[in-house]
Structure 1
């Protein structure tokens, strides 16, 4: 499968459709089971606060995965992602209030590269704070 977006169709500054991703305690338990990461900071409020966190926090890799969804939804092909990296700047705090947290993600084409590739800069926030820094993906387009 190739990306549904063509290289010639995009310009620097092209904005990807934004995404909003809810995160609940249930989400974290399911992710822990799938990933094998059962660190109690992701499910045990007492433990999380004892180690200095404000509450239970989402797994960093989970946050990364939610952020790249904006890019893979845009391309229509997860295999089009050639490179992806982030720096974790703030944790996604997930309160046990029935609503949890929300990760809001946007992306913009920052650079057109050789070999039909583009660099997409990604912005991810939760609770009004940037949770990922230097979030960038290189994507090969059709």
Structure 2
């Protein structure tokens, strides 16, 4: 756990996502939408290929925030899904990188502005976390 004071830079934390991860997440979440496993369907609906579940991406963000602030300290986590995380059909998968910067610290809480990218492209718009300090 890092000291969370205004201006503290956090991360980056890097996570690899493979097609096997998508299968496991689909089973755990019950979200079997074919855009998360079938290239033909994904491209038919206008996507560049199979994409990671948005909530799987958010779970990885939550994992990074827990590492920085300590497990169970997150009271708010959010962002807008602005770009898909395209997961190739290979054994290497794709990496997402999560970093943060502590903004205001007040009343026992810290606000963390997050940056979540895949291949240098931001995949979440206005992501932030609020944690207990």
After TM superposition, the score normalised by the length of structure 2 is 0.95
SS at match of 2:75: strand
1:130 lines up with 2:109 in the alignment = no
1:12 aligned partner: 6
CA drift at 1:85: 0.9
Distance 2:4 2:113 in 1: 14
2:76 aligned partner: 83
2:100 aligned partner: 107
Distance 1:28 1:46 in 2: 16
CA drift at 1:48: 0.4
Structure 1 stretches of at least 4 aligned residues deviating more than 3 Å after TM superposition:
none
Contact 1:16/1:70, CA 8 A, preserved across alignment: no
Distance 1:131 1:83 in 2: 19
Moved more, 13-22 or 39-48: 13-22
Gaps of 5+ in 1: none
Gaps of 5+ in 2: none
For the aligned residue pairs, the C-alpha RMSD in angstroms reads 1.2
What number of residue pairs does the alignment pair up? 133
